[in-house]
Structure 1
């Protein structure tokens, strides 16, 4: 899967589920501080990763994911 496809899927999910403006979805955006994603929201993110990309992500995996770019890299390294 190409990185552009990963970016599209993740950004679409965040825009729809968390009502985040697409203009805010830039690679350097901090998930918590800039996008307002809360700790419980990471459960939803893990579920979408499992459904869309076919691998299990744990809470521990997500601890190192601070920015959108980190998330894209994490997913790209697993698919």
Structure 2
């Protein structure tokens, strides 16, 4: 099973590569909208990529309260735990 740190590092790699976000800005505390300039389309793209990479489904409710990179990591951890 993936650890929280592994999930963060994989997410960080994806955000840097696919969304061209400066790696130094991607911290657990970084706000998706304010710090990383993420909009709703970026969020949908990120969720689609996560579903493909992790081979699991997310619902809109899974990401409803997500505000930070750490929230995304927690959401992924919770979903992976449910599916194991």
Q: Same fold (TM over 0.5)?
A: yes
Q: Which residue of 1 aligns with 2:59?
A: 58
- Cα pair 1:46 1:56 within 8 Å, conserved: no
Q: Which residue of 1 aligns with 2:77?
A: 76
Runs of 4+ in 1 over 3 A off after TM superposition: none
> 1:25: Cα distance to partner?
0.5
> 1:4: Cα distance to partner?
1.6
> 1:43: Cα distance to partner?
1.4
User: Over the residues paired in the alignment, what is the CA RMSD in angstroms?
Assistant: 1.1
Equivalences for 1:27-66 in 2 at 5 Å? 27-66=28-67
Query: Greater CA radius of gyration, 1 or 2?
Result: 2
| TM-score, L = length of structure 2 | 0.86
Between the two proteins, the alignment pairs up a number of residues equal to: 79
SS at match of 1:40: helix
**Partners of 1:28 and 1:46 in 2: CA distance:** 19
**Partners of 1:29 and 1:70 in 2: CA distance:** 10
**Partners of 1:31 and 1:58 in 2: CA distance:** 18
**Partners of 1:12 and 1:20 in 2: CA distance:** 9
